[in-house]
């Protein structure tokens, strides 16, 4: 990658942009795969490690274990804060390596405790969103959503590989779920080395670094970054985005246990579950496309309205759909699950995009990290609450109750969020 000087500003060459997009697409493939593969193996993990317990107890224990493991996502905040301190490139390489290495450890687990520990480690590294900072700091404001979409489209590979590998590895032998970790291992570790030795820092970070070295801009510390965030002109919107992220985090239980819900319904065969996984994978792709295109064409707010409304509706459709059979079940459950994945992932993507568009450059990593931390706290809280609900009422009731707070996104967006489409990041103060 090459970087040229143009007067006082840094200008990235066209080939450098192309290379950056190409590599970041592979990062997103890995990130998408590592985010999703733990969600399509719960029934087999439960069968292997918790098979001696009654179904509701086993699912409740598993939800509790996932809640404990989700504490690892709190370290995403540290990753993104460190991106402001030591640079985007080093932290990007570190998180990519972590996804590969943690997947390797996960494959070696022999009991639910080890599984929880290694899943905790995986959670530290995925969804750090460092690539989002790269894109947001490198591309023109009017193209930011599209560039995000280009990289997110890289996630197509990770999403499409998911049902393919599941149909290969998920068999009558419960222990074969470990095969789902292999792709992450073989991609993550080499990719981290490639990033470390061939990538460049973002232009805006290099400019900020030069200002710090020249004394024009003193290096801010963590408290100063927080002060910058909550004294900025758009602090009210940032606080609302944190609340929306908390709500979005609550419903992570649906992602993590919907496969176990299908498997334990007694009405779906393994092949039918795989069909739904294919539908979900395609929905993830459609979600990326819809979110990116609509975000740039009509703005971020319409998506928050739409996704906030459809999230609980789609989950209710899934819960009702498993009571049917045959092709009717596949159509109804596939429709509900597809919409659920589009909306639940879409809320996170839009919140992530708005965050980088309303936070100052020198605190952007910290702002993104704090948003991720708040979302992670919502995830842990949602899983802990769900663990209790599952024990007493089962997965279906837990899914519905936890989805209802998404309706609050509508009034919060209407009252407090300003449209950020086309915002120039250099003007954010």
Q: What is the pLDDT of residues 11-38, one digit of tens each?
A: 567 777 778 888 999 998 999 899 889 9
- Determine the 3-state secondary structure of 321 from DSSP: helix
pLDDT of residue 426: 61
- Could you identify the residue written with the tokens 């837990």? 398
Q: Which of 251, 264, 244, 260 is nearest to 385 (CA)?
A: 251
Phi, psi of 3 (to 5 degrees): -130, 130
- Percentage of the chain with pLDDT > 70? 91
Check: CB of residue 42 under 8 Å from CB of residue 169. Answer: no
pLDDT of residue 319: 96
Q: Which of 314, 312, 310, 309 is nearest to 402 (CA)?
A: 312
Cα angle: 39, vertex 40, 41; to 5 degrees: 100
- Could you identify the residue written with the tokens 């295109």? 293
Chain centre distance of CA 106: 19
Is CATH 1.20.1250.20 the classification given to domain 15-198+222-427?
Answer: yes
Instruction: Round to whole Å and give the CA distance between 400 and 17.
Output: 44
Give tens-digit pLDDT for 127-174: 667 887 777 777 766 666 677 777 877 777 888 898 899 999 987 778
Mean pLDDT, the chain, whole residue set: 87
Residues linked to residue 6 through DSSP beta bridges, in sequence order: 9
Check: CB of residue 235 under 8 Å from CB of residue 355. Answer: no
């Amino acid at each position: 990658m090459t970087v040229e000087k143009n007067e006082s500003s840094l200008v990235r060459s066209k080939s450098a942009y192309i290379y950056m997009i190409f590599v970041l697409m592979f990062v997103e493939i890995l990130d998408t795969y590592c985010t999703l593969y733990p969600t399509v193996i719960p029934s087999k993990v439960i069968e292997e490690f918790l098979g001696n317990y009654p179904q509701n107890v086993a699912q409740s224990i598993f939800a509790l274990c996932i809640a404990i493991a989700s504490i690892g996502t709190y370290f995403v905040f540290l990753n993104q804060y460190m991106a402001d301190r030591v640079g985007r490139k080093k932290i990007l390489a570190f998180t990519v390596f972590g996804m590969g290495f943690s997947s390797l450890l996960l494959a070696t687990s022999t009991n639910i405790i080890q599984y929880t520990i290694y899943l905790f480690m995986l959670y530290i590294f995925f969804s750090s969103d460092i690539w989002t900072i790269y894109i947001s700091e490198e591309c023109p404001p009017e193209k930011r959503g599209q560039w995000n979409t280009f990289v997110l489209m890289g996630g197509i590979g990770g999403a499409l590989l998911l049902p393919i590998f599941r149909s290969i590895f998920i068999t009558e032998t419960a222990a074969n779920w470990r095969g789902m970790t292999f792709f992450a291992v073989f991609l993550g570790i080499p990719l981290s080395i490639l990033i470390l030795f061939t990538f460049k820092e973002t232009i805006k970070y290099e400019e900020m670094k030069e200002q710090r070295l020249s004394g024009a801009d003193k290096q801010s510390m963590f408290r100063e970054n927080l002060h910058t965030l909550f004294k900025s002109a758009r602090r009210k919107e940032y606080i609302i985005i944190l609340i929306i992220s908390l709500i979005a985090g609550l419903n992570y239980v649906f992602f993590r246990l919907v496969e176990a819900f299908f498997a334990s319904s007694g009405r779906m065969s393994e092949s039918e579950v795989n069909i739904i996984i294919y539908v979900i994978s395609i929905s993830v792709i459609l979600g990326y496309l819809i979110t990116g295109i609509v975000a740039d064409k009509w703005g971020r707010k319409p998506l928050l309205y739409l996704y906030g409304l459809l999230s609980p509706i789609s989950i209710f459709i899934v819960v009702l759909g498993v009571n049917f059979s045959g092709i009717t079940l596949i159509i109804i459950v596939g429709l509900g699950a597809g919409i659920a994945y589009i909306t639940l992932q879409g809320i996170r993507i839009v919140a992530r995009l708005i965050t980088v568009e309303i936070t100052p450059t020198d605190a952007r990593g910290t702002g993104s990290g704090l948003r991720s931390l708040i979302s992670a706290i919502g995830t842990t809280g949602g899983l802990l609450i769900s663990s209790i609900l599952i024990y007493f009422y089962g997965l279906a009731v837990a899914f519905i109750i936890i989805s209802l707070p998404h309706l609050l996104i509508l009034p919060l967006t209407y009252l407090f969020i300003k449209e950020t489409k086309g915002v120039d990041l250099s003007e954010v103060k």
